Amino acid sequence: MRWINWAAVIWLLAAPAAWAQATTEAGIIVTGEGRVAVAPDMAAITLGVRHRGDTAQEAMALVTDDVAGILNTLTNVGIANTDQQTSGFYLRPVYNSRGINDGTPPDLVGYEAGNTVTVRVRDLAVLGSTLDAVIEIGANEFNGLRFDLQDPSAAQSLARQLAVGDARAKAEELAQAAGVALGPLVRLSEAGSNAGPRMMEMSAGRASMDSAIASGEVGVEARVTLVFEIRQP
**For 118-167, how does the pLDDT look when each residue is reduced to its tens digit (9 = 90+)?**
999 999 999 999 999 999 999 999 988 899 999 999 999 999 999 999 99
* The pLDDT of residue 98: 65
* The pLDDT of residue 193: 64
Return the closest-CA partner of residue 224 out of 166, 138, 179.
166
Mean pLDDT of 45-65: 96
How far is 84 from 15, CA to CA, in rounded Å?
57
Q: 16-25, 48-57, 183-192: which range is least confident on average?
A: 16-25
* The pLDDT of residue 175: 94
Mean pLDDT of 179-185: 94
Higher local confidence (pLDDT), 93 or 98: 93
Return the closest-CA partner of residue 63 out of 93, 43, 102, 89.
89
Q: How far is CA 71 from CA 12, 86, 129, 169, in A?
A: 66, 10, 15, 52
* 51 backbone dihedrals φ, ψ, rounded to 5°: -140, 155
How far is 208 from 212, CA to CA, in rounded Å?
8
Mean pLDDT of 16-25: 49
Return the closest-CA partner of residue 44 out of 168, 199, 205, 181.
199
* The pLDDT of residue 96: 85
* The pLDDT of residue 197: 46
Residue 125: burial class (beta carbons within 10 Å; 0-12, 13-18, 19+): exposed
* The pLDDT of residue 216: 80
